[in-house]
């Protein structure tokens, strides 16, 4: 899909959007689709795009997953997550219905903001502001997208350790298939683990690096420790994409982001990077920020995530 075709689809579906850069090399922010980002390189949208999910609307019966690159609150499951406050998995309507606005616009930089009130699985409410600070740069055959993902707690009550967990979580989606694979620059089990279903049959070691096949019959997700510097997705011959987590607050802690039962306590193993693969034909390379011990009014949780799109078919 071209960038122009995507904007035509957004217009047809009555979705607001904003372009950073241009239709040859740029980023489309879908303001009415959770503030998701869709990256354009050489005129083509490289992220996954699901047109039916753009045309439809999410509700409690069905979540419409349009693709792109999303900012979500972590964790997903466990007693302190945000997708099970009603008992069943769902994306909160405060996320799916958020009103994202452009609050700063420069030639190659855009800042997006939305007010999103969260309710965790213990029914604790957290009034928040979400921001995405998007910077882009084109260098020969590499398109660099640096996004500072930020969650600001704007409540008036101090929330103590044990009552909450909260960190910015960036999920970047692509189509997957028989040829798609992920490269991870470590091979030891200490720094790589399954968050739920086993992925043993999907991965192998090559030249001291872990290779993950993304075509799968069951969904799985790998958690990667803070010792892992980057992950890279190779969907085929046209491009590859590398994702790194840069600056984070060192005094804060990485957390368990797993999609597991809301009656289970979070693991002590914190996730910095993650790989998710789904049998429906898509995958995600994910980056996470850290969580503070205490939520005080105005505190910010942020992470800088660099995503590099490297063109290989020139």
pLDDT tens track for 225-237 = 999 999 999 998 7
**Residue 60: its pLDDT value, please?**
86
User: Apex CA 85: angle with CA 79 and CA 87, to 5°?
Assistant: 95
Give CB contacts under 8 A, 24+ apart, made by 208-211: 209/183, 209/184, 209/185, 210/183, 210/184, 210/186, 211/181, 211/182, 211/183, 211/184
pLDDT tens track for 249-258 = 667 899 999 9
Decide: 286 and 216 in contact? Cβ < 8 Å.
no
pLDDT, mean of residues 142-146: 97
Residues 219, 214: Cα–Cα separation, whole Å = 10
pLDDT over 70 at 314, yes or no: no
Count Cβ atoms below 10 Å from residue 264 Cβ, excluding itself.
Answer: 14
Do the strands 203-206 and 220-224 form a parallel or antiparallel pair, or are they unpaired? unpaired
**Residue 249: its pLDDT value, please?**
65
CA dihedral 40, 42, 47, 50 (to 10 degrees): 90
Q: In which element (H, E) is residue 201 found? A: none
**Residue 164: its pLDDT value, please?**
96
Average pLDDT, the chain: 95
Residue 37 exposure: Cα atoms within 13 Å on the Cβ side: 29
pLDDT tens track for 21-48 = 999 999 999 999 999 999 999 999 999 9
- DSSP labels for 202-241? GEEEETTEEEEE---SS-EEEEE-TT--EEEEE-SSSEEE
**Residue 241: its pLDDT value, please?**
97
Rg (CA), the chain: 18
Decide: 42 and 225 in contact? Cβ < 8 Å.
no
Share of the chain above pLDDT 90, in %: 91
CA dihedral 80, 82, 85, 87 (to 10 degrees): -90
pLDDT over 60 at 266, yes or no: yes
The model's pTM is 0.96
In three-state secondary structure terms, 301 is: strand
Share of the chain above pLDDT 70, in %: 99
**Residue 248: its pLDDT value, please?**
67
pLDDT tens track for 183-223 = 999 878 889 999 999 999 999 999 999 999 999 999 999 99
**Distance, CA of 229 to chain centre:** 17
**Residue 107: its pLDDT value, please?**
87
pLDDT over 60 at 309, yes or no: yes
Q: In which element (H, E) is residue 7 found? A: helix 3-12
Residue 107 tokens read as 């030639």
pLDDT tens track for 99-138 = 999 999 998 999 999 999 999 999 999 999 999 999 999 9
Q: How far is CA 266 from CA 67, 168, 195, 213, 259, in A?
A: 27, 16, 11, 27, 10
């Amino acid at each position: 899909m071209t960038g122009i075709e995507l904007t035509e689809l957004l217009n047809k579906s009555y979705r607001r959007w904003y372009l950073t850069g241009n239709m040859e090399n740029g980023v489309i922010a879908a303001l009415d689709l959770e503030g998701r980002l869709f990256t354009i390189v050489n005129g083509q949208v490289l992220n996954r795009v699901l047109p039916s999910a753009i045309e439809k609307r999410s509700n409690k019966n069905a979540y419409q997953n349009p693709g792109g690159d999303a900012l979500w609150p972590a964790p997903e499951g466990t007693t302190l997550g945000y997708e099970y406050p009603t008992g069943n998995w769902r994306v909160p309507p405060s996320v799916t219905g958020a009103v994202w606005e452009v609050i700063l616009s420069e030639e190659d930089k855009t800042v997006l903001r939305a007010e999103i009130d969260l309710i965790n699985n213990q029914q604790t409410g957290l009034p928040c502001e979400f921001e995405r600070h998007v910077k882009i740069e084109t260098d020969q055959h590499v398109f660099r997208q640096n996004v500072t993902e930020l969650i600001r707690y704007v409540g008036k009550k101090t929330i103590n350790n044990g009552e909450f967990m909260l960190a910015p979580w960036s999920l970047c989606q692509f189509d997957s298939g028989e040829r798609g694979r992920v490269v991870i620059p470590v091979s030891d089990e200490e720094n790589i683990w399954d968050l739920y279903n086993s992925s043993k049959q999907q991965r192998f070691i090559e030249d001291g690096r872990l290779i993950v096949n993304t075509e799968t019959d069951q969904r799985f997700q790998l958690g990667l420790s803070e010792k892992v510097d980057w992950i890279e997705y190779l969907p085929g011959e046209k491009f590859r994409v590398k994702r790194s987590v840069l600056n984070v607050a060192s005094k804060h802690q990485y957390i368990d982001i797993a999609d597991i039962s809301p009656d289970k306590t979070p693991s002590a193993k914190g996730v910095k990077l993650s790989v998710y693969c789904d049998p429906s034909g898509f995958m995600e390379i994910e980056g996470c920020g850290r969580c503070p011990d205490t939520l005080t009014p105005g505190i910010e949780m942020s992470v800088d995530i660099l995503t590099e799109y490297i063109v290989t078919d020139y």
